[in-house]
């Protein structure tokens, strides 16, 4: 049996795939080690959603290859880069022992055996080939775990390679998700974050109707789970039933991530985005009416082909109008094989960068204002760890308003520093720290 280390790049969905690979290897009695320096085999689970992600993946692959001594470590490249570019990279990167797609995860033990015997492997099934009934481990034993409820995407966004890489949208059976949720809870998870390319499309392909409200009800019945959080919700599929369930089930965080991508109809049309801004406004209004304290997050692309200053100003006006709690931004990257890469009116890099900075700067004072509204109030905080700062020892945590890794955190001083990760405590918010984070004090 081999010593195997993992390097996981990209999004939370990739982290879940790494945990499936680890589960398969643990079941076959391979030894998982933390450091590539200890490993005979290093599996690099890659992202290739945009060019910078591809560049990062290639850089990491070469760093591992250059650091090896003698025959080890063997490198296996998995994930999106392998799915999208394995056939061309196979000859260009002889340092890599194997390229595998997600559909090959179940065969990973055999692939490692062959790699250790000196064979180079290319095992990349067509995008959309399912991988079912895989065991899973947990990469990090913190209080939060990701539950991937579907794979692939049916949307036709003109800038996106995900349908090419991952294939069509495929929901996972509800009973499988509940069983996996039970496993994650048994390994210490208190918060389950539901992810997919579009969580709100869950069930349509499998059951013929939007089944996310039913899934949420089932997960909320699990007594050990404390929080359920939804990421990547499309306004066109946020139904009255979904809003009703979010309002009734207290375990569902009053939080929603809606990746809108732009706010000018002309650019949205060029992007191939579904729905209209008018429909999005109505959904946002309904959410705030039913869930008055809901925290709303969105992401936007700047510098899309054809975007002029008037289009960009419309986007800034939209941010001012809606006043999201949190906003992320991407600079448009022309990806090979996408319709957007061939559109006229490509925006110069310096203008794209300037608009990116302007958007983030414009949103900063809105986010600071939203955070300031919680100063003096009490809020439930999920403890995640501890830190030693200049101000002294602090507990680190998040509230319902903050998704892991993408939003701010809460620093808790005084109170009970013996609290463990995963505990929920009441805290009084004392101040905003550097726009995005909060100071607080444990009160119970």
pLDDT band at residue 421 using 50, 70 and 90 as cut-offs: confident
Strand partners of residue 75: 42, 96
pLDDT score of 258: 94
- C-alpha to C-alpha distances, 170 to 27, 194, 394, 405, nearest whole angstrom: 26, 15, 42, 26
Q: Which helix (H) or strand (E) holds 241?
A: helix 240-248
Supply the pLDDT for residue 414.
66
Instruction: Give the pLDDT of residue 125.
Output: 86
Q: By 3-state DSSP, what share of the chain in percent is helix, strand and coil, each rounded to 5?
A: 40, 25, 35
Residue 33 has pLDDT above 70, yes or no: yes
- Give the residue from 46, 54, 60 showing the smallest Cα distance to 95: 60
CA dist., res. 291 & res. 246, Å (int): 8
**How many C-beta atoms surround the C-beta of residue 174 within 10 A?**
18
pLDDT of residue 294: 97
What residues form DSSP beta bridges with 325?
none
71 has pLDDT over 70:
no
- For position 276, what pLDDT does the model report? 80
CATH topology of domain 266-272+296-373: Transcription Regulator spoIIAA (3.30.750)
Confidence of residue 221 (pLDDT cuts 50, 70, 90): very high
pLDDT per position as a tens digit, 300-330: 999 999 999 999 999 999 999 999 999 999 9
SS3 label, residue 439: strand
CB 76 within 8 A of CB 119: no
> Under CATH, what is the fold of the domain 140-257?
Transcription Regulator spoIIAA (3.30.750)
- The answer to whether 405 and 363 are in contact (CB under 8 A) is no
Task: Choose between 173 and 50: higher pLDDT.
Answer: 173
What pLDDT score does 130 carry? Answer: 65
What is the Rg, in whole angstroms, of the alpha carbon atoms belonging to the chain? 22
Q: What percent of the chain has pLDDT over 90?
A: 61
Reading the block at residue 352, the tokens are 């794209």
Q: Comparing 140-257 with 266-272+296-373, is the CATH topology the same?
A: yes
The 3-state DSSP class for residue 339 equals helix
Residue 260 pLDDT level (bands cut at 50, 70, 90): very high
Query: Is 103 or 139 the better-scoring residue by pLDDT?
Result: 103
Q: Is the pLDDT of residue 410 over 90?
A: yes
| Range of lowest pLDDT (40-54, 277-291, 292-306) | 40-54
Q: What pLDDT is attached to residue 37?
A: 82
pTM of the model: 0.92
Least confident of 34-38, 65-69, 370-374, 435-439: 65-69
Residue with token string 């369930």 = 245
Residue range 140-166, pLDDT digits in tens: 778 999 999 999 999 989 999 888 888
Tell me the three state secondary structure of residue 372. helix
Angle at 292 between CA 288 and CA 295, to 5 degrees: 75
In sequence order, what are the beta bridge partners of 431?
439
pLDDT for 70 equals: 61
> What pLDDT is recorded for position 51?
81
The full set of domain ranges for the chain reads 3-123, 140-257, 266-272+296-373, 378-442
Quote the tokens at residue 211. Answer: 């089944």
pLDDT in tens, 331-352: 999 998 899 999 999 999 999 9
CATH architecture of 3-123: 3-Layer(aba) Sandwich (3.40)
**Mean predicted lDDT score pLDDT of the chain:** 91
Which pLDDT value is given to residue 127? 76
* Angle ∠(195,34,74) on CA atoms, nearest 5: 95
Contact status, residue 10 vs residue 102, Cβ threshold 8 Å: no
pLDDT at 131 over 70: no
Q: Which two tokens stand for residue 118?
A: 């000196």
Q: Which CATH fold topology does 378-442 show? A: OB fold (Dihydrolipoamide Acetyltransferase, E2P) (2.40.50)
What pLDDT does residue 277 have?
A: 85
Query: Is the distance from CB of 82 to CB of 99 less than 8 angstroms?
Result: yes
DSSP result, 130-199:
---S-----S--SSEEEEE-EES-----TT--HHHHH-S-EEPPHHHHHHHHHHHHHTT--EEEEE-SSG
Q: How many CB atoms lie within 10 A of CB 53?
A: 18
Burial class (CB in 10 A: 0-12, 13-18, 19+), 162: middle
More confident residue, 299 or 51: 299
Cis peptide before 73 (omega within 30 of 0): yes
């Amino acid at each position: 049996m081999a010593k195997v280390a993992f390097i996981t790049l990209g999004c939370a969905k990739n982290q879940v795939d790494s945990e499936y690979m680890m589960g398969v290897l643990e079941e076959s009695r391979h030894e998982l080690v933390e450091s590539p320096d200890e490993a005979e085999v290093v599996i690099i689970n890659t992202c290739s959603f945009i060019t910078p992600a591809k560049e990062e993946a290639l850089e990491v692959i070469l760093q591992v290859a250059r650091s090896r001594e003698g025959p080890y470590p063997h490198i296996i490249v998995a994930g999106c880069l392998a799915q999208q570019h394995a056939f061309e990279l196979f000859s260009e990167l002889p340092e890599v022992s194997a390229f595998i797609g997600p559909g090959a995860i179940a065969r990973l033990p055999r692939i490692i055996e062959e790699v250790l015997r000196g064979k180079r492997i290319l095992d990349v099934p067509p995008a959309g080939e399912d991988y079912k009934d895989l065991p899973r481990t947990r990469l990090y034993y913190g209080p939060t775990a990701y539950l991937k409820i579907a794979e692939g995407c049916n949307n036709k966004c003109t800038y996106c390679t995900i349908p090419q890489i991952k294939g069509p949208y495929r929901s996972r059976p509800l009973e499988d998700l509940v069983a996996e949720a039970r496993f994650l809870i048994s390994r210490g998870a208190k918060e389950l974050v539901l992810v997919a390319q579009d969580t709100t499309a869950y069930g349509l392909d499998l059951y013929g109707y939007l089944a996310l409200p039913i899934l949420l009800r089932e997960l909320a019945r699990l007594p050990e789970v404390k929080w359920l959080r939804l990421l990547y919700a499309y306004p066109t599929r946020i139904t009255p039933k979904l809003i009703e369930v979010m309002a009734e089930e207290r375990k569902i965080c009053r939080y929603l991530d809606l990746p809108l991508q732009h706010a000018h109809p002309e650019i949205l049309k060029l992007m191939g985005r579904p729905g209209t801004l008018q429909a999005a406004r109505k959904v946002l209004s309904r959410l705030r009416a039913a869930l008055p304290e809901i925290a709303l997050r969105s992401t936007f692309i700047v510098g899309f082909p054809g975007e002029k200053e008037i289009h960009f100003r419309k986007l800034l006006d939209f941010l001012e109008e809606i006043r999201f709690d949190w906003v992320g931004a991407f600079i448009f990257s022309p990806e090979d094989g996408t319709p957007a890469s061939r559109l006229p009116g490509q925006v110069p890099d310096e203008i794209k960068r300037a608009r990116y900075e302007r958007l983030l700067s414009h949103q900063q004072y809105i986010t600071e204002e939203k955070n300031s509204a919680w100063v003096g109030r009490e809020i439930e905080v999920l403890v995640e760890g501890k830190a030693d700062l200049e101000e002294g020892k602090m507990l680190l945590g998040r509230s319902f308003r903050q998704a892991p890794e993408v939003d701010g955190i809460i620093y808790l001083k005084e109170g009970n520093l013996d609290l463990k990760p995963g505990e929920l405590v009441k805290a009084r918010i004392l101040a905003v720290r550097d726009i995005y984070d909060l100071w607080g004090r444990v009160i119970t």
